[in-house]
Amino acid sequence: MTRKIFISIIAVATVVFGAALMLIMGVLHGYYYDQYTAQLKNDAIYISEGMKISGEAYLESISRDSNNRITLLDEKGDVLYDSEVDASTLQNHRERQEINEAIILSEGTSERYSETLSVKTFYYAMLLDDGNILRVSNSTYTTTTLIKNILQPLIFVVLLAIILSLFLAFRLAKRIVMPINMIDLENPGSQNEYEELAPLLARISVQNRQIRKQIEELNRKRQEFSVITENMNEGLIVINNMTNILSCNQSAADILGISEPQTDRSIFVLNRSEPFRNAAEGALAGERSENELVLNSRTYHIIANPVMRKGKIEGAVIFLLDVTEKNERDNFRREFTANVSHELKTPLTSISGYAQIIKDGIAKEEDIVPFAGKIYNEAARLVSLINDIIKLSQMDEGLIKEEQVYVDLRDIAKAVAERLAGEAANRNIDITVDGESATIRGIHYMIDEMIFNIVDNAIKYNREGGSITIKVFDGPASIVVEDTGVGIPVAERERIFERFYRVDKSHSKDIGGTGLGLSIVKHFAAYHNADIKLESQENQGTTVTLTF
């Protein structure tokens, strides 16, 4: 801006100086023309009066003392007398401007410029009483010639004027711009050096308010976006069309194994695996792509969507969803369905087979009762299996509606021991209940079912003549079931709480059961926020501890 003001001032000064010079030349020209014309007219009148007294002889006498050129012409334009040149050598002057005007108007004037001599000659002609024409002329330098003669001092003055103009223009430009540069753009209304800037300052104030409002809105949206993305369990990465990361939340950083979110670098620096690369490249190609990525024994579902703007791909949004548990649940459901089908099929096949034999009359009279007993036992096993499946399904679907009450673990343990006393006596197994009273809040039948299943397993997998000890503790409330059974191999201990899993499948067929008892214990314990601890040694026994 300073430069523009400076140039403008210099341009104005130059134009003004040039215009002034032109005006001076015009004024000088007009002044000299009027002065010379008036002087020549006076001289002509003076000479004409002398000619009236002395005739043409007066011309000879006055020519010696006059600086003017005196010429006498007849009415046809022929030269009768000339003070500088022999009249006979001069051509007819009838076509000269001043002569024509004198013949017509009684007087005439003109001026002619000699490029050779750089002088201008002024002419004045008047019509005499005898019809002749008296012309007086004189030569002088032109205005341009005068200026050329004073060129050196003129150049000095011009240079001085230019230097002074430059200095003053620079100072003036700085003084004009300084208040503008000193304007506080945050508070433009506090300064108003120039009234002309008032509309601009008012507009800046309005724009400042709009910008502050927009910045506050952007900050609010950014904070909302940050809160949402940083509290997502899913990984979120936003990239541009050059694969550089624009945004990356902490979950994505954790999934990809980096200490903190990364930006302004290629996404392929974080992971170069084929599924990850294909998902990102597919999205940048304009297609929604999905892949699965395995990292650190966990499975992640990658969803990559292109970001379009005005039909052009600007980048992509990539989600990383942990589907490990989902896949495990899907696998578990498939396995559970297969196991349920198998477990239901076995008793049903047995029931159908014995019933078919009896229906067809093939069974002997003495075999009917044993066959009926077989059918009854298989049916009872089937009912028990279905009941256990229903319990697990209710837990999975969150359909437990019963209200929690205060129960005593020692009372429940005694009741379970009494119910299983007959089964234990059949194998000569001794059951004892020790410890103190421990009250907890929970669902009675679930706690009873947990203790029952643990003790029932302790009986089934115990030795003839073995023992089972049930101990109850308070603070924290816990129950411990110890047996002297066959124990559990180390490789099997992680799986015994799985549905339908049995350590010794051949032995399990002999002792019965659905294979769901410990799975029910696990789910009921989780419902009550209880911990299960298992300790076992092969051929020495097993200890199961439930801590509430």
Contacts of 35 (CB under 8 A, 6+ apart): none
**Domain identity same for 304 and 340:** no
Q: How far apart are CA 377 and CA 510, in angstroms?
A: 13
> Does 391 share its domain with 416?
no
Asked whether residue 109 is assigned to any structural domain, the reply reads yes
Instruction: Say which CATH number the domain at 93 has.
Output: 3.30.450.20
Cα 332 to Cα 81, 250, 498, 499, distances in angstroms: 143, 30, 10, 9
Q: Are residues 389 and 409 in the same domain?
A: no
pTM of the model: 0.41
**DSSP calls for 81-135:** EESSS-GGGSPP-TTSHHHHHHHHHSEEEEEEEETTTTEEEEEEEEE-TTS-EEE
Of the residues 322, 343, 377, the one at which a domain ends: 322
Last residue of some domain: 379, 395, 411?
Answer: 395
pLDDT band at 519 (very low <50, low <70, confident <90, very high): confident
- Residue at which a domain ends, from 322, 349, 365: 322
**Domain identity same for 368 and 485:** no
pLDDT in tens, 166-222: 777 777 777 777 766 766 666 766 656 666 667 777 787 788 888 888 888 888 887
CB 290 within 8 A of CB 279: yes
Which domain does 424 fall in, by range? 402-547
Count of domains observed in the chain:
4
User: What mean pLDDT, rounded, does the chain reach?
Assistant: 79
339 with 427, same domain? no
Which amino acid belongs to residue 534? L
Q: Are 200 and 29 in contact (CB under 8 A)?
A: no
Residues 346 and 374 in one domain: yes
Distance CA 133, CA 51 (A): 12
Q: What is the CATH number of the domain that holds 375?
A: 1.10.287.130
Say whether both 57 and 121 belong to one domain.
yes
Is the pLDDT reported for residue 422 higher than 90? no
The DSSP code sequence of 130-152 is TS-EEEEEEEEE-HHHHHHHTHH
The predicted-structure confidence for 69-123, as pLDDT tens digits, reads as follows 889 998 888 988 888 888 888 888 888 888 888 888 889 988 887 665 567 788 9
Confidence of residue 32 (pLDDT cuts 50, 70, 90): low
Nearest of 134, 137, 17 to residue 68 by alpha carbon: 137
Contact 392, 523 (CB under 8 A): yes
Residue 505 in this model has a pLDDT that exceeds 50: no
The DSSP letter of residue 463 is P
**b/e map of 147-170 (b: 16 or more CB within 10 Å)?**
eeeeeeeeeeeeeeeeeebeeebe
For the chain, how long is the longest CA-to-CA vector? Answer: 196
**Residue 365 and residue 260 in one domain:** no
Cβ pair 441, 406 in contact under 8 A: yes
Residue 182 lies in a domain: no
Residue 316 maps to a domain:
yes
